[in-house]
Chain A
């Protein structure tokens, strides 16, 4: 393989680098150490930073500031919502808890593990949990949803955009179906907020989770939107922070980072989406033209602008990933090997991708720093890597 080498990061769905402006904002905020709950000037200074960030985050999704709870991660936001349903009603609940006859939640088979695991856990505690399947593109079947949601359903949770294949769900239509049956609706929008326009009022969601580090903000901070009046019960108890809805001294620095990240998204998102879509088109065509026996996974149109998931027959994902890594290219894979389990990606299997194809899948997720030169380099290297992996593979292909 050639000497030409660059560093190309195509794993933005895993995490993103800090935006330079976010770094600046956080650097400034580092000297603000007061406890935001303190009444003195040091506390008030921190409080101001947090409330400014809250306004920024709220405005970005068309929510009110008091509808935003800062949490430790997207996973915490999701766990908080799923766990509302094991609540039996207690002194911690800020609103009367969920109707006891609605003890069922419905989610999908392609959710992030934090939703799947939290759901499996409350199932053991006695809440009925149903999982909706998806079609070959990763879209949930709205008819099936309509049939499944009933008077027993308390909550439906559907992710807005899938992290592995990028498929975007019709959240507005889903929330209408759910609300017609009187259930509540949550969407894990960790991969969507900051990449697509998200308006919680227009989409009519009751709860929505998002995270800072997927949109050039810091790790360790996320936000949960809770519609005013929606039932709520805190997941972490023992403090009055976040209006009693999430105990623990606020992560001032992280929250400042989240606020700035969102502010920068507001400026850059629209243009970036157009640019990424054209890079993705180029990448897709480059693969299609030069590599045989491939299959793109996810929805051809309703998909995150920067996410491309592809399966290469006869090539195993971890090998592809590590050979690309040697060339300076960072991607991720749905292969079992990389995950430490023996099962390939649950998302790909749910979309009907064969196991052998799922083991040979690669996800490339681009971001604000990805250039056309990067993509040209990736196509060039990918052709060589796939040819090499196939040469030593037991599975011969037509190439």
Chain B
């Protein structure tokens, strides 16, 4: 209907929400080479991503998922699965929330941090693949670690936020909503901010 007011998300989000791609239907039949789970249904979002890998070429040949979450969580995991298939493990590992948001023609700002967790689930699946195949050294080289379990916020993201001006936990919380669910990460996140501020801005007062 043309007289319908605009939907809250882009048409691309709507399309992926209404017609999700690559949903994992039969987990036991899929025989995944790598599996990653991120989030927590207590927090409102949980994602599972499984991959199949062409071992000789190191390329993701299939990527399936399941998501408990809102429309943007579902659409973002769906579009991520399309982005991941055909990429090398290294390329896929670099996919981030910005790539997902871009592929969806944008997402509301407040939705990016709380609902776009698929990229992290994919990285977890890739790491799982590395571990299963005796390539654990590759995992160690990927320095990112999750700090806030509920929202999947990583140390690298915190470092980026510091570079963009965040100086304490509360400023970070304003932007990322970190620690607003269970609050367990507050101390760790605070210490990291201090560390990154020292690392990048030790010259400042």
A392 interface residue (CB < 8 Å to B):
yes
B167 interface residue (CB < 8 Å to A):
no
Cα-based distance from A391 to B45 in the complex (angstroms): 15
The answer to whether A356 touches B67, judged by C-beta atoms less than 8 angstroms apart, is no
Instruction: Give A318's nearest chain B residue, CB to CB.
Output: B70
Interface string of B99-139 (1 = CB under 8 A from A): 00000000000100011000000000000000000000000
Cα-based distance from A114 to B154 in the complex (angstroms): 36
Q: What distance in Å separates the Cβ of B57 from its nearest Cβ neighbour in chain A?
A: 29
B92 interface residue (CB < 8 Å to A):
no
Inter-chain contacts of A338 with B (CB < 8 A): 70
The answer to whether B114 touches A342, judged by C-beta atoms less than 8 angstroms apart, is yes
The answer to whether A394 touches B43, judged by C-beta atoms less than 8 angstroms apart, is no
Of the candidates B70, B180, B181, which one forms a contact with A316 in the assembled complex, judged by CB atoms under 8 Å apart?
A: B70
Inter-chain contacts of B43 with A (CB < 8 A): 342, 355
Of the candidates A314, A322, A335, A354, which one forms a contact with B44 in the assembled complex, judged by CB atoms under 8 Å apart?
A: A335
Given A314-B68, A319-B71, A342-B180: A391 touches B41 (CB 8 Å cut-off) = no
B24-43 CB contacts (< 8 Å) to partner A: 25, 37, 41-43
Inter-chain contacts of B66 with A (CB < 8 A): 392-394
Instruction: Give the size of the chain A interface in residues (CB under 8 angstroms).
Output: 24
Q: What distance in Å separates the Cβ of A326 from its nearest Cβ neighbour in chain B?
A: 7
Please classify the interface of chain A as helix (H, G, I), strand (E, B), loop, or mixed, using the class held by over half of its residues: loop
Inter-chain contacts of B169 with A (CB < 8 A): none
Q: What distance in Å separates the Cβ of A317 from its nearest Cβ neighbour in chain B?
A: 8
A368-396 CB contacts (< 8 Å) to partner B: 391-395
B47 interface residue (CB < 8 Å to A):
yes
Please classify the interface of chain B as helix (H, G, I), strand (E, B), loop, or mixed, using the class held by over half of its residues: mixed
A340 interface residue (CB < 8 Å to B):
yes
Tell which of B15-23, B82-90, B185-193, B195-203 binds the partner: B15-23
Q: What distance in Å separates the Cβ of A337 from its nearest Cβ neighbour in chain B?
A: 4
Inter-chain contacts of B37 with A (CB < 8 A): 394
Q: What distance in Å separates the Cβ of A322 from its nearest Cβ neighbour in chain B?
A: 5
B48 interface residue (CB < 8 Å to A):
yes
The answer to whether B177 touches A395, judged by C-beta atoms less than 8 angstroms apart, is no
Q: What distance in Å separates the Cβ of A391 from its nearest Cβ neighbour in chain B?
A: 7
The answer to whether A355 touches B71, judged by C-beta atoms less than 8 angstroms apart, is no
Inter-chain contacts of B68 with A (CB < 8 A): 314-316, 393-395
Known A-B contacts: A337-B69, A359-B44. Give 5 more (CB < 8 A). Answer: A335-B70, A337-B44, A343-B181, A355-B44, A394-B67
Contact sample, A vs B, 13 pairs, CB 8 Å cutoff: A314-B68, A319-B71, A335-B44, A337-B114, A337-B115, A342-B114, A342-B177, A343-B180, A355-B41, A355-B42, A355-B43, A391-B23, A394-B67
Binding site for A on B (CB under 8 A): 17-18, 20, 23, 25, 37, 41-48, 66-71, 73-74, 110, 114-115, 150-151, 177, 180-181
In the A-B complex, list the 3 residue pairs whose CB atoms are closest, starting with the nearest: A337-B70, A318-B70, A356-B41
